[in-house]
C-alpha cells in the first residue's frame, strides 16, 4: 500500500510557505491532523485524547469542506501560592479541511478509538481527462 499526501494546493510550494498557509503551528484552538490518501480513501486522523466522542466532537461536511470541532474540559492543574501549572491543553479546538471535488458527503464516516478520531472520505472517481474529438459539421 502506497501512502501519499493529498496536495490541496495543487502546486508545489516551498515547505515554509505551505506550513504558513496551512497554519501548521501551535496556534491556540488549532486541531492538528494528518491526511493520508490510501486505497481510494482520504483518511484524516486527529489526536484528541480525553474526550467523549458522543458529546465532545462534531464532524460535518458542507460546501466541499470537512470540519472537525472538539472540546476538552478535563484538565490537570496545580495551584500554589505563587505559581500555577497546567499540564494539558483544554478548551475548544477545530479544523477545516478542503475536500477534493465530487466527494459524496453522505459516505463520510468517523470513528474514535484510543484518543484518535479517524474520518474516512471515499475518494471521488476521476473523470477521464483526455482530449475528445469534436466532429465539425458543414452548413
Q: 15-122 — its CATH code?
A: 2.60.40.790
**The dihedral sign for the CA sequence 88, 34, 110, 114:** negative
pLDDT tens digits for range 103-133: 898 999 999 999 999 999 998 887 666 777 8
Other Cβ atoms within 10 Å of 69 Cβ, number: 16
- Residues of the chain with confidence (pLDDT) below 50: 2, 4, 23-25
For residues 108 and 66, give the distance between their C-alpha atoms in angstroms, rounded to a whole number.
9
CB 97 within 8 A of CB 119: no
Domain boundaries, the chain: 15-122
Q: Which residues contact 40 (CB under 8 A, 6 or more apart)?
A: 122, 123
Helix (H) / strand (E) element for 20: namely helix 15-21
Task: Output the pLDDT for position 22.
Answer: 52
For residues 123 and 6, give the distance between their C-alpha atoms in angstroms, rounded to a whole number.
11
DSSP state of 106: G
Whether pTM > 0.95 for this model: the answer is no
Amino acid at each position: 500500500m502506497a501512502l501519499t499526501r493529498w496536495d490541496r494546493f495543487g502546486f508545489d510550494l516551498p515547505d515554509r510557505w505551505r506550513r504558513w498557509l496551512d497554519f501548521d503551528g501551535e496556534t491556540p484552538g488549532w486541531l492538528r491532523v494528518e491526511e493520508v490518501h490510501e486505497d481510494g480513501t482520504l483518511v484524516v486522523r486527529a489526536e484528541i485524547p480525553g474526550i467523549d466522542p458522543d458529546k465532545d466532537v462534531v464532524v460535518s461536511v458542507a460546501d466541499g469542506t470537512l470540519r472537525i470541532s472538539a472540546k476538552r474540559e478535563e484538565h490537570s492543574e496545580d495551584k500554589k501560592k505563587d505559581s500555577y501549572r497546567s499540564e494539558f491543553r483544554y478548551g475548544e479546538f477545530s479544523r477545516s479541511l478542503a475536500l477534493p471535488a465530487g466527494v459524496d458527503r453522505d459516505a463520510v464516516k468517523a470513528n474514535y478509538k484510543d484518543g484518535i478520531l479517524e474520518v474516512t472520505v471515499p475518494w471521488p472517481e476521476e473523470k477521464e481527462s483526455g482530449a475528445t474529438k469534436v466532429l465539425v459539421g458543414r452548413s
